[in-house]
Amino acid sequence: MAHDHTVKSFDVELRRLVQEIAQMGGLAEEQLAQAIDALARRDSEAASKVIESDRRIDTMEHEAGNLAVRILALRQPMATDLREVVAAIKISSDIERIGDYAKNIAKRALQLNQLGPLRPVSSIPRMGRLAQQIVKDVLDAYVEKDAALAVAAWRRDEEIDDLYTSLFRELLTYMMEDPRNIGPSTHLLFIAKNIERIGDHATNIAETVHFLALGRTIDETRPKGDTTNVALDG
């Protein structure tokens, strides 16, 4: 009976851990959507709210980490259960980074609002929506332990990279056409790079989910469409 109670308690804690990661992911997904919307509408108030709400994600990552460590220390899980706990730790770290990049987008949106509007750059909202969808799909895959959904989302990251490459070239053209475009174009480049990095973290989650569900890595080369090789973060 004591063993049954221990197993039941472990299952409860494991379910709680998965729920916390899912809630954290939902918040990061929402932050990304709000950051892109604030950018598109040049809404400084909405951008400021995104920046402020990032603290909640950081707090949730800390709490999830504490729970995972507690499970590892007290339950000493093996095999599939151990994979579940390790996956939760890795995924919470990727979600926290996604939240950071959403915050960075909001910060850049605030700075852009101090400058004159640049001609519409449709690629950024498209990149943002695509990143949102990929993040949503990998989080759904995590909750459902759906390896096929994880792989499908993983493959779509290449679309984000391709959009980033074309946008990079477009913005360089704007900067060469008129020096007044350099300031806003630079902010947009950083925003695009942040979205591209969100895509990378979503593919990390997809790989973790695949390993969690099947016990093996994705048997394909990681998709990478970005050929600009430019280090832009922040």
Q: How far apart are CA 205 and CA 153, in angstroms?
A: 10
pLDDT (tens, 9 = 90+) of the chain, 234 residues, equals 444 445 677 788 888 999 999 999 999 999 999 999 999 888 999 999 999 989 999 999 999 999 999 988 887 777 778 889 999 999 999 999 999 999 999 999 999 888 876 665 678 989 999 999 999 999 999 999 999 999 999 999 999 999 999 999 999 998 899 888 888 899 999 999 999 999 999 999 999 999 999 988 887 776 665 444 445 556
Which pLDDT does position 233 carry in this prediction? 58
Write phi, then psi, for 232 (nearest 5 degrees): -130, 110
DSSP 155: H
The angle subtended at Cα 215 by Cα 212 and Cα 216, nearest 5°, is 110
- Cβ count near 185 (within 10 Å): 21
Rounded to two decimals, the pTM is 0.89
> pLDDT tens across 11-27, in order?
888 889 999 999 999 99
The angle subtended at Cα 127 by Cα 34 and Cα 214, nearest 5°, is 95
The answer to whether 193 touches 155, Cβ cutoff 8 Å, is no
